[in-house]
Amino acid sequence: MPRLSYTKALNRALGDELERDPAVCVFGEDIGAGIAQLTLGLLNRFGRDRVVDTPLSEQAFTSMATGAALCGLRPVIEFQIPSLLFLTFEQIANQAHKMSLMTGGQVHVPVTYVVPGSGSRAGWAGQHSDHPYSLFAHVGVKTVVPATPPDAYGLLVSAIRDDDPVVVFAPAGAMNVRDDVDFAALGPVPIGQARVHRAGTDVTVVAAGHLVHDALAVAGELDGEISVEVFDPRSVYPFDWAALAESIGKTGRLVVIDDSNRSCGLGAEVIATVCEEMALVAPPKRVTRPDGAVLPFALALDQAVQPAREQLAAAIRAVMK
Amino acid sequence: MTEGLHTPAELYRRMRLIRVFEETALRLVKSGDIVGGTHPYIGEEAVAVGVCAALADDDLITSTHRGHGHVLAKGSDPARMLAELAGRDTGLNRGRGGSMHAADVSVGILGANAIVGAAAPIAVGAAWAAQRSGSGKVVATFFGDGGLNQGVLLEALNLAGLWQLPVLFICENNGYATTMPTRTGVAGTAVGRAEAFGIPAATVDGMDVEEVRDAAAEAAGLARRGEGPSLIECMTYRFGPHHTMEHRIKLSYRTQEEIDEWRTRDPLDIQGRRISPAIRDQLDAEIDELMARAERFALDSPHPDPAGALDYLYASGLVPRGGVVD
């Protein structure tokens, strides 16, 4: 089977949707040249009316996409830097997200925001290394964090076809993942549907994005000692609670690895919900960035505040005691 | 041209509708039927009506926190608008938007925005879609002198100028950003800001509906011919408070002399003098009758069911988890 990289999967999904639906268009910085590779080759294929290089005005072009969406288009925005989501939080959380409710359902805002290279990129320091998916889940914006090339393809397709705003986080740590892929089998992946990458009976490990690969590596290391189920929500909002309940029903133990700061992050929500609504036989654990983390520049410091495989292995062992 | 805004009498009639609507709303704020208060448009009626008179029915607008006038000028049903203010299920937004978020897509209102300046880039996006589709539609975006200091509005001016989009930037300069006088908040001028982006701009008497209409018609013509955006600064004045709560906290930032002086230039009187007293009286009576019916409709309408408080949150029908889960 041919190999497909995560980056190529995103590029292919966007190209396929532009081909399929004339309402789809793309806004972003340096997207004509394809600097982040998401849009590579798309300007030549679809022209300047569909693939629009914008000046450095993130707030304006984010709301511009909202305005275009109100007129029947399905804009996709590429943000070169994950921290730009803080700059455009007003336009996404306070404008696009609220319009359907505030107008009593008169309008929909089908805009997709893609961040190719979210989280740490190693060496890009404080203002280029954030991973704010929990923030969007908190306000209720649909948020997906695909881990694999087929999921990257399928979730981006679903995001573009969805009638609500959707943020697609493509973690820097997953962008180089390659999979053997049957191109004919690539298709939309429903938003809100989890995936179990590895079945297990002792502990459920919840991991999203690049951390799925860390969780799989740790599960492999512990093979024979502890049977780990690797549960990938794929969508952090809405979250597939029913699938998680099924997994917890089997294992009764939970560890969450989450690239958010600890307070009010995805890990906190998963643990709270499991404790309220499901039955655990041991106290759960989470491995996260520290409270209030700002990623420092020096590589050793950057890595020191990211959730790590050793921490995950220790947490898994701890819930087995 | 927007239906019902062709003749001098029709321009007067629509301004009168806004005036009486706003007076009714003030009364209903006092009685407690409208909660949260309003930002009254009284005094500024000529801007909304003049601009909308230059637009076609299928042209689009975005509005502001002080948006009742824009919504009524563009052609929304005053009864459903008042029901919205009273938080009723029959309101334009089914009671989910209120005074600051009135939207009526059926008459081209993409929404009123409660963040100052925030609607300008939304209007630019709508104009980009119009240009791309060749629909010939133009988009008018209203904002105040306070909005001139929002970065996102300047970004929007740049994009509209750069891509020659069919946008009318309508600056309602009523002299104050809440309590801050324009001269103490704005370096340079509204016109100067537009010109810096290569956008033609003019200042007009915002108390004269026909002067506003003529300037907006010229700008709309340019936009429709593919000659890009314009900015019109309408010099106007709100006769009342920034917000109805102002009466309670007794703010003092304008002199009575200043208010009285502007009141001598009431836009309804300026336009009213252009029609016969008999017709004016007849229109006034018509509007009183219409607003009495609107008030009865609003207050007789059902309140929304709290069980549906988060209805319409997601277009896809996703039902969010409740705040309490059994």
What's the confidence (pLDDT) of residue B326? 73
The yes-or-no verdict on residue B85 having pLDDT over 60 is yes
E strand map for chain B: 60-63, 109-112, 139-144, 167-173, 176-177, 180-181, 201-205, 230-235
Measured between its terminal Cα atoms, the distance across chain A in Å is 42
Q: Residue A72: which of B97, B129, B159 has the nearest Cβ?
A: B129
Residue whose pair of structure tokens reads 């220790």 in the numeric block: A314
Which CATH architecture describes the domain A195-320?
Answer: 3-Layer(aba) Sandwich (3.40)
Task: Say how many CB pairs under 8 Å bridge A and B.
Answer: 147
Q: What is the pLDDT of residue B140?
A: 98
DSSP-derived 3-state class of residue B115? coil
What is the CA B209 to chain-centroid distance, rounded?
14
pLDDT at residue A35 is higher than 90: no
What is the edge-to-edge ordering of all strands in the sheet holding A166-171? A51-53, A24-28, A74-78, A112-118, A166-171, A142-144, A235-237
Chain A, window 70-89: residues with a beta carbon less than 8 angstroms from a chain B beta carbon: 70-73, 75
pLDDT for residue B1 is more than 60: no
**Chain A positions in Cβ-Cβ contact with residue B110 (cut-off 8 Å):** 67, 70, 107
Q: Alpha carbon A156 to chain centroid distance?
A: 10
| Any B CB within 8 A of A54 CB | yes
Domains of chain B and CATH, by start: 8-308 (3.40.50.970)
Q: What are phi and psi of A188, to 5 degrees?
A: -60, 145
**3-state SS of chain B: helix, strand, coil percent to 5?**
50, 10, 40
pLDDT digits (tens, 9 = 90+) for B180-221: 999 999 999 999 999 999 999 999 999 999 999 999 999 999
CB-CB neighbors (< 8 A) of A95 in chain B: 113, 115, 118, 122
Report the SS3 class of residue B147: helix
pLDDT bucket at A27, cuts 50 / 70 / 90: very high
CB contact under 8 A, A101 and B313: yes
Catalytic residue flag (residue A138): no
pLDDT above 70 as % of chain A: 100
Distances (CA, A) of A38 to A148, A205, B234: 15, 30, 44
Q: ipTM of the predicted structure?
A: 0.95
**Side chain identity at A42, as an amino acid letter?**
L
The answer, for A49 touching chain B at a CB cutoff of 8 Å, is yes
Q: pLDDT by residue (tens digit) across B264-293?
A: 999 999 999 999 999 999 999 999 999 999
pLDDT at A174 over 70: yes
Instruction: Give the pLDDT of residue B111.
Output: 87
Please tell me the distance from the alpha carbon of residue A170 to that of residue A37, in angstroms, as a whole number: 12
| Cβ within 8 Å of B, A 164-203 | 164, 192
DSSP state of B240: S
pLDDT (0 to 100) of residue B250: 78
Give the whole-angstrom CA distance, residue B72 versus residue B79.
Answer: 10
Tens-place pLDDT, residues B219-274: 999 999 999 999 999 999 999 889 988 877 878 899 999 999 999 999 999 999 99
Residue A238: asked if its preceding bond is cis (omega within 30°), the reply is yes
The tally of CA atoms less than 13 A away on the side-chain side of residue A185 is: 10
Helix, strand, coil in percent for chain A, rounding step 5? 40, 20, 40
Six token digits for residue A52: 């629009």
Given this chain, do its domains A3-185 and A195-320 carry the same CATH topology? yes
**What is the domain partition of chain A in residue ranges?**
3-185, 195-320
* Binary contact (A66, B125; C-beta < 8 A): yes
Ranges assigned E (strand) in A172-213: 178-180, 195-198, 203-206
Contact A162 B316 (CB under 8 A): yes
Residue type, B297: F
> In terms of Cα–Cα distance, which of B101, B120, B122, B97 is closest to B111?
B101
What is the predicted pLDDT for the residue at B104?
94
Chain A from 255 to 284: CB within 8 A of any B CB: 276-277
Distant-in-sequence, close-in-space partners of A57: CB < 8 Å, separation ≥ 6: B155, B158, B159
- C-alpha span between A235 and A309 (Å, rounded): 22
Distances (CA, A) of B36 to A73, A192, A257, B33: 34, 36, 43, 10
* Distance from chain centroid for Cα A309: 19
Is the minimum CB–CB distance between A123 and chain B shorter than 8 Å? no
Nearest by CB to residue B320, choosing from A55, A61, A140, is A140
A71–B310: do the CB atoms touch at under 8 Å? no
CATH superfamily of domain region A3-185: Thiamin diphosphate (ThDP)-binding fold, Pyr/PP domains (3.40.50.970)
pTM recorded for the entire structure: 0.96
